[in-house]
């Protein structure tokens, strides 16, 4: 426990990176104040706390900001060190961190191409996603969750693929997740979304699909370089 | 846990900036290892087996277990070998978060800037150099605060963030020479220039490759790209 702790989280309701921080805070039973940001009109607080990337999530702990969701997760685990989220063993920790960068860099890029791309770019995105899903599927064989019998760090970081990938598929009209090709991954999605921590801590699906549909339209019109 | 019979192998090349990060970390912790050199343009069977997802160096193999991704390996080394007294990441969680944030920034912004400056892809090298300097600017401005007025980002001794950026110094100097541009200068990035000088005279200096060798190596890479057979 960290005494006299003031924890604030700047976020945006549809952002998977924000939700993974919320999941971590709730897993640890940490009380926090949530501040919703309008990302089209960012607050002066957000810009002050995150001048480099100007993005959510930002965790502010006793006035000190921590940015980048993976960095925030490590910070939370180190600061409130009961109920560890990361594995204890250093090799397992290295594996967990490996999967985190894999999904946040590789899978995200492939999902972005599949969602925003057209023609060859889209096909390439979906092809890459399938290769990546295969790797994740193999990692899950024989396990309920990436972390074992209960949710851990890797599940939290891959978590966006359990919900937001399905949303992107619907809003972007493509399909990558396939239960016969990726049986373990599909089972993991089900287990993850049914877990009490996650089930009650997700944005409303219809609203999120609609948001992503509009996001895609805006992306196509502006040919924006989005993250 | 480490034992007398620890077997540590590192798959990489002497020229690789990312590989250098791991070599620095192993040296700081006084861990003996065997460097398994990869040939430019080719990937060994061991590399493909140890890193099937990315098929990239560096890969650390510790008692048969593979660890991939340079800064993940550095952190693994920090957590595994604790008896030397050298701490790569700071103790304070907020300081650790700062080091991790800036390392993620470096790894996001810098790698993509090298190929054009090396002449591997066509482009305006002057603009590329200016872009590089602009990417370093936030680090230049943050140096005093992160270092708390000391010599290195990590304080009195080099640490995680020093390793993350320091591993690029050799290549920055090499591309400055190859492309006849300036990236780190006393005018635009004075603190980083002085930090780089201190980094280069540190005990890790034996690992830092010579600029001329890196330039030669670049020519080898370019040749291997031209003569490479198409992939299936």
ipTM of this predicted complex? 0.92
Token pair of A178 as six digits: 């396939």
Cβ-Cβ contacts under 8 Å between A and B: the total is 54
Instruction: Give A11 to chain B, closest Cα distance, Å.
Output: 18
Mean pLDDT of chain B: 91
B9/B135 Cα distance (integer angstroms): 34
Instruction: Give A206 to chain B, closest Cα distance, Å.
Output: 33
Query: Which of A68, A93, A94 has the CB atom closest to B104's CB atom?
Result: A68
The pLDDT tens digits for A140-186 are 999 999 999 999 999 999 999 999 999 999 999 999 999 999 999 99
Query: Which of A71, A75, A94 has the CB atom closest to B72's CB atom?
Result: A94
pLDDT value, residue B232:
43
pLDDT value, residue B125:
94
pLDDT value, residue B15:
85
Nearest to B21 by CA among B158, B177, B141, B150: B158
pLDDT value, residue B225:
79
What is the pTM assigned to this prediction? 0.93
Query: Which of B72, B93, B138 has the CB atom closest to A98's CB atom?
Result: B72
CB contact under 8 A, B104 and A71: yes
Query: B169 pLDDT exceeds 50?
Result: yes
Q: Do strands B34-37 and B8-12 pair parallel, antiparallel, or not at all (unpaired)? A: parallel
Section B180-205 average pLDDT:
93
CA atoms within 13 A on the CB side of A166: 13
Residues B14/B37, Cβ–Cβ less than 8 Å: yes
Question: Which of A98, A133, A157 has the most B C-beta neighbours within 10 Å, making it the best mutation to test the interface with B?
Answer: A98
**Which residue in B has a C-alpha nearest to residue A97's C-alpha?**
B72
B61/B54 Cα distance (integer angstroms): 15
Neighboring chain A residues of B75 at a CB cutoff of 8 Å: 93-94, 97
What percentage of chain A's residues is helix, strand, coil (to nearest 5)? 60, 10, 35
Instruction: Give B137 to chain A, closest Cα distance, Å.
Output: 11
Using CA atoms, how far residue A208 sits from A103, A140, A158, A170, A212, in Å, is 20, 27, 18, 10, 6
Nearest to A116 by CA among A12, A14, A212, A209: A212
pLDDT value, residue B190:
97
The confidence band for B3, taking pLDDT boundaries of 50, 70 and 90, is: low
Query: Which of B69, B79, B94 has the CB atom closest to A98's CB atom?
Result: B69
Question: Which of A94, A105, A106, A134 has the most B C-beta neighbours within 10 Å, making it the best mutation to test the interface with B?
Answer: A94
The confidence band for B221, taking pLDDT boundaries of 50, 70 and 90, is: confident
Token pair of A102 as six digits: 């894999």
What angle (nearest 5°) sits at the alpha carbon of residue A218, between those of residues A213 and A221?
A: 125
B35/A25 Cα distance (integer angstroms): 42
Pick out chain A residues at pLDDT < 50: 3, 226-227
The values of phi and psi at residue B207, to 5°, are -85, -25
Section B20-29 average pLDDT:
94
The pLDDT tens digits for B147-157 are 999 999 999 99
Query: B46 pLDDT exceeds 90?
Result: yes
Q: Is B29 on the interface with A (CB under 8 A)?
A: no
Neighboring chain B residues of A72 at a CB cutoff of 8 Å: 97
Neighboring chain B residues of A71 at a CB cutoff of 8 Å: 97, 100-101, 104
A161/A129 Cα distance (integer angstroms): 11
pLDDT value, residue B199:
94
CB contact under 8 A, B96 and A75: yes
Query: B203 pLDDT exceeds 80?
Result: no
The pLDDT tens digits for B67-89 are 999 999 999 999 999 987 889 99
Alpha helices in chain B (DSSP H): 17-28, 45-50, 70-80, 93-109, 114-118, 125-147, 160-166, 169-179, 190-201, 211-227
Residues A151/A201, Cβ–Cβ less than 8 Å: no
Residue A47 backbone class (left: φ over 0; alpha: ψ -120 to 50; beta: rest): alpha
Query: Which of A72, A79, A101 has the CB atom closest to B69's CB atom?
Result: A101
pLDDT value, residue A39:
86
Which distant-in-sequence residues (6+ apart) come within 8 Å of B230 by Cβ?
Answer: none
């Amino acid at each position: 426990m960290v005494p006299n702790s003031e924890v604030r989280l700047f976020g945006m309701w549809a952002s998977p990176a924000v939700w993974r921080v919320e999941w971590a805070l709730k897993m640890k039973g940490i009380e926090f104040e949530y501040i919703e940001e309008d990302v089209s009109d960012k607050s002066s607080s957000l810009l002050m706390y995150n001048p480099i990337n100007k993005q959510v999530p930002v965790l502010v702990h006793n006035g000190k900001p921590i940015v980048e969701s993976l960095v925030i997760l490590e910070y939370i685990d180190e600061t409130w060190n009961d109920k560890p989220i990361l594995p204890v063993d250093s090799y397992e920790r290295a594996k967990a961190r490996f999967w985190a960068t894999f999904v946040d860099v590789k899978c995200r890029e492939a999902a972005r191409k599949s969602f925003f791309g057209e023609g060859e770019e889209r096909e390439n995105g979906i092809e890459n996603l399938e290769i990546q899903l295969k790797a994740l599927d193999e990692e899950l064989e024989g396990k309920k969750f990436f972390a074992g019998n209960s949710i851990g760090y890797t599940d939290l970081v891959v978590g966006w693929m359990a919900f937001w990938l399905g949303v992107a598929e619907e809003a972007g009209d493509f399909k990558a997740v396939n239960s016969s090709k990726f049986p373990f991954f599909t089972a993991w999605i089900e287990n993850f979304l049914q877990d009490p921590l996650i089930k009650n801590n997700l944005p409303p699906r219809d609203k999120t699909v609609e948001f992503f549909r509009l996001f895609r339209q805006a992306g196509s019109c502006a040919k924006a370089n989005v993250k | 846990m480490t034992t007398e019979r620890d077997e540590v192998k590192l798959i990489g090349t002497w020229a690789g900036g990312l590989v250098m990060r791991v070599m620095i970390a192993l040296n700081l912790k006084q861990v003996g290892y065997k460097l398994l050199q990869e040939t430019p343009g080719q990937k060994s069977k061991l590399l493909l087996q140890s890193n099937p997802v990315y098929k990239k160096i560096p890969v650390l193999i510790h008692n048969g277990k593979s660890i991939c991704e340079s800064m993940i390996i550095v952190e693994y080394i920090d957590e595994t070998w604790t008896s030397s007294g050298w701490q790569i990441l700071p103790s304070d969680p907020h300081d650790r978060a700062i080091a991790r944030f800036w390392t993620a920034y470096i790894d996001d912004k810098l790698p993509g800037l090298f190929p054009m400056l090396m002449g591997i892809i066509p482009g305006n090298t002057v603009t590329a150099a200016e872009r590089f300097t602009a990417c370093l600017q936030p680090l230049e401005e943050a140096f005093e605060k992160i270092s708390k007025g000391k010599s290195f980002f990590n304080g009195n001794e080099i640490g995680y963030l020093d390793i993350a950026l320091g591993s690029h110094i050799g290549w920055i100097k090499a591309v400055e020479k190859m492309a006849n541009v300036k990236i780190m200068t006393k005018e635009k990035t004075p603190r980083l220039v002085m930090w780089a000088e201190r980094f280069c005279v540190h005990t890790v200096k034996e690992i830092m490759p010579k600029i001329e060798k890196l330039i030669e190596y670049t020519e080898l890479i370019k040749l291997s790209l031209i003569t490479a057979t198409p992939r299936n």
